[in-house]
Chain A
């Protein structure tokens, strides 16, 4: 079983839709959770970062973490064509000075105008 599982999609939605992206993980040592957005042939861009269970909101984006179920989600409200990208969940363990990220494989999202 992979440490982090993410449905690769592709996911295609109309403009204005609410998008839900999800990851599950198996290692309870993961304590910090991130969502990155990656446009084609570009570097991953940090979107959201959280370290506690519950919701964190930033504009149209909401990150949700459920540590008891080992499940994280990213919601995008009022999706725009510019949101079309690959979304990667990432997580890391707590403690020490090594915070290597373990990534999901990414979900390819297309928002159609």
Chain B
């Protein structure tokens, strides 16, 4: 158990809908990273938050957004969902030193 929790484990929804994925980092970790894993693209970095502030963006679609709250948990919002958004979404956290990331169990999103 990495200490990173993610909810829900599974989400099934329809195209055009909006969903919210939640992540709680390891105790004391200030950085939260979101990654998307699909069969064809592998694990891709989406966005990073550090102590409530956006720190870096990767290949994140404009339909996707995230935030980190004062208690350091983070949410990833996916809107106007398309079939191609079906994937595993992982959250990872790291301490202020930054370079070692611990991953949560992921949320499997299926868009029908």
Contacts and interface: CB of A to CB of B under 8 A. Distances in A.
Contacts, number: 65
Contact-residue bracket for chain B: 20 to 34
Interface stretch (B14-22, B70-78, B79-87, B91-99): B91-99
Nearest to B44: A103
Interface stretch (A14-22, A40-48, A63-71): A40-48
A102 B94 CA distance: 15
Contact-residue bracket for chain A: 20 to 34
B43 A43 contact: no
B100 A49 contact: yes
Interface of A: 32, 34, 36, 41-46, 49, 51, 88, 90, 92, 97-106
The 8 A-B residue pairs with the shortest CB-CB distance in the complex, in nearest-first order: A43-B103, A105-B42, A98-B56, A103-B43, A99-B98, A100-B45, A44-B103, A43-B105
